[in-house]
């Protein structure tokens, strides 16, 4: 009986974590739904993030220029739902975006984007980061200085 309860709780925990950013347009990126595209991905949660007041950290980076425009479009769609946003363009291309969304289950949600390929002497890559936790925007900006 204990095994069944443990298995049920683990399944529930995985489902909750998997749905954390599922309301965002960028969610397919974190699920690896772009077949044939190489991504470097990070998925952190639990004790490692607790000192930072975070509960979930997900990031993807790709240097596959074929999907840069797709990623930019997904990020810009998500930006429409943000309650606080900061972004910068180089020409007509989105260079960076920093979005905060309405808290969900008392947790703050943030989305970051950067297209380094737009700068000379920078890596030719696009990065998307999703963060969730109890850290405020002000605290988060201090962490990333």
pLDDT tens per residue across span 34-84: 777 888 999 999 999 999 999 999 999 999 999 999 999 999 999 999 999
pLDDT tens per residue across span 99-135: 999 998 899 999 999 999 999 999 999 999 999 999 9
Give residue limits of the domains in the chain. 2-143
pTM: 0.82
**What is the phi/psi pair of residue 135, to 5°?**
-80, 135
Residue 87's alpha-carbon distances to 84, 109, 111, 116, 135, in angstroms, are 10, 17, 11, 14, 21
């Amino acid at each position: 009986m204990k095994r069944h309860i443990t298995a049920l709780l683990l399944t529930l925990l995985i489902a909750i974590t998997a749905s954390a950013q599922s309301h965002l347009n960028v969610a397919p990126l974190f699920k690896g739904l772009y077949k044939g595209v190489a991504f470097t991905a990070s998925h952190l949660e639990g004790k490692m993030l607790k000192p930072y007041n975070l509960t979930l950290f997900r990031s993807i980076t790709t240097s596959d220029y074929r999907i840069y425009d797709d990623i930019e479009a997904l990020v810009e769609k998500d930006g429409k739902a943000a309650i606080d946003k900061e972004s910068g363009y180089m020409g007509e291309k989105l260079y960076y975006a920093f979005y905060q969304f309405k808290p969900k289950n008392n947790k703050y949600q943030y989305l970051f984007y950067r297209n380094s390929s737009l700068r000379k002497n920078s890596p030719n890559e696009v990065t998307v980061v999703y963060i969730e936790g109890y850290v405020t925007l002000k605290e988060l900006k201090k962490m990333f200085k």
